[in-house]
């Protein structure tokens, strides 16, 4: 399995809306980071769906190395 592309060295702050579903880019190829734009097609990656329970700011992983997808867990600081 080829590794995900490191789309960013830092997470993305997003103001999410309650009830809305977000598709987090897992492959790192999307041009609409941190979300999927369909660029994973042909790779072994699939985006991860996450639904917001409340409206607030969330930090989505940009390095694609998080162990808590789709959110930043601080792993971007390790490499
Ligand atoms: S941006 Fe990926 S763990 Fe922080």
Residue ranges of domains in the chain: 1-72
The residue nearest atom 4 of ligand 1, judged by CA position, is: 72
Going by C-alpha positions, the residue among 58, 48, 3, 40 that lies closest to residue 22 is: 48
For the CA of 65, the closest atom of ligand 1 is 2
30-52 tens-digit pLDDT: 999 999 999 999 999 999 999 99
Q: Is residue 75 in contact with ligand 1, taking CB distance under 6 Å?
A: yes
Confidence grade of residue 2 (pLDDT, cut at 50, 70, 90)? confident
Q: Is residue 47 in contact with ligand 1, taking CB distance under 6 Å?
A: no
Q: Is residue 65 in contact with ligand 1, taking CB distance under 6 Å?
A: yes
Q: Is residue 61 in contact with ligand 1, taking CB distance under 6 Å?
A: yes
One-letter-per-residue 3-state SS of 64-75: CCCCCCCECCCH
Contact 49, 69 (CB under 8 A): no
List Cα–Cα distances, 69 to 9, 10, 48, in angstroms. Answer: 15, 14, 8
Q: What is the DSSP string of 16-48?
A: E-TT-EEEE-SSS--SSTTB--STTTTSS---E
Confidence grade of residue 3 (pLDDT, cut at 50, 70, 90)? confident
60-69 tens-digit pLDDT: 999 999 999 9
Please determine, for residue 13, whether its predicted confidence score (pLDDT) is greater than 80. yes
């Amino acid at each position: 399995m080829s590794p995900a592309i490191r789309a960013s060295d830092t997470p993305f702050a997003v103001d999410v809306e309650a009830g809305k579903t977000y598709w987090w880019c897992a492959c790192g190829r999307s041009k609409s980071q941190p979300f999927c734009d369909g660029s994973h097609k042909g790779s072994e990656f699939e985006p991860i769906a996450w639904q917001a329970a409340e409206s607030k700011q969330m930090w989505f992983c940009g390095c694609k190395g998080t162990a808590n997808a789709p959110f930043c867990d601080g792993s971007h600081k390790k490499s």
